[in-house]
Amino acid sequence: MLRKSGSNHKKSLWLAVLFGFGTCFWFIASVGSSWYIEHVSAVLFLTGAIILALYKKNNFWVGLLLGCATLSRLPTVLAFPFFLLLTYEQNTTWKSRLKQAAIFFLGLAIPVGLNALYNFARYGTFLDVGYTLIPGIQQDPYFTSGIFNLSYIPRHIYAILFQGPILLNNFPYFEPNWMGLGLFFTTPTFIYIFKGPWNKFSKYAALAVVCILPILITHGTVGFTQFGYRFSLDFTPFLMLLAAKGMRENLGWSEKALIILSLLVNLWGVVSIIKFGFVSF
């Protein structure tokens, strides 16, 4: 994905290592629980869809892969404008653009349609209402205003930007917080998503993040238990594209230092939680 989006071989290798071991994906994939495996598969299918779109492959398969990501994590479907804008750029006439968009939605409709039928079979409605049927959900202190509500946004902003580790008076002196760890604490390298240059492609990637984010930050919980902010994996492939955009083609010491720091932070998280159980609320 990185190579096709313009990064050279060495830069792509550094960023591939960053993704695998310098983001919360490492911890999520290592644990592999039912809550976490959905993120792993969503990242797989979403990245696959981006790769096929960049290589200008059949839009039916692009839509199908996005649909598979949606079956894993419903918010990922909101990335569809990214693929439509790529289709617009890759075709020169409105007839071809509309045709390719229709092919894309046809592929997307298959898994989405199967999910709707599955919902009808189990709930009697085509909508996914599973969350609302959890016993006692309305009495849960995190869902006092419903499953989704604008009042939940501040807790997500704190989780994304400010959530830190737990400080202790004795060894190990600080440990991961099950509530999570801020996105830029977990992966400091993501600071490069804000750095230029901004071309059409990077704007499309940023739009995908903006489209997915609202449904995440209005959810009652921030994703705990977790290391990092696991909901960010719904758009991490786009963050990788944006981080690559902000870095020099021949990575300098500052880029490499932040990548290494990201690796160390996630190594600390994985080892602390999985090997030693150094974690609490």
Element (H, E) at 174: strand 174-175
The residue behind tokens 């993040």 is 209
List phi, psi (to 5°) of 148: -125, 135
Instruction: Write the single-letter amino acid at 3.
Output: R
What's the pLDDT at 128?
86
Mean pLDDT calculated for residue range 207-214:
98
Residues in the chain: 281
Q: pLDDT class for 131, splitting at 50, 70, 90?
A: confident
Please, what is the average pLDDT of the chain? 95
pLDDT, tens digit, 9 for 90 and up, residues 256-279: 999 999 999 999 999 999 999 999
Domain boundaries of the chain, sorted by first residue? 9-275
Token readout for 240 is: 């990788």
Q: Is the pLDDT confidence value at 120 over 90?
A: yes
Q: What is the pLDDT of residues 39-77, one digit of tens each?
A: 999 999 999 999 999 999 999 999 999 999 999 999 999
d(CA 7, CA 69): 25
Residue 16, pLDDT > 90, answer yes
Position 46, amino acid: L
> What pLDDT does 196 receive?
84
- Structure confidence at residue 221 as a pLDDT band (50, 70, 90): very high
**Bridge partners of 166?**
175
Mode of pairing for the β-strands spanning 174-175 and 166-167: antiparallel
C-alpha distances (whole Å) from 39 to each of 198, 200, 279 are: 28, 28, 21
Structure tokens at 231: 């909901």
Three-class SS state of 183: helix
**255: Cβ contacts below 8 Å, ≥ 6 apart:** 14, 189, 192, 247, 248
In this prediction the pTM is 0.95
Give the pLDDT confidence score for residue 134 in this predicted structure: 85
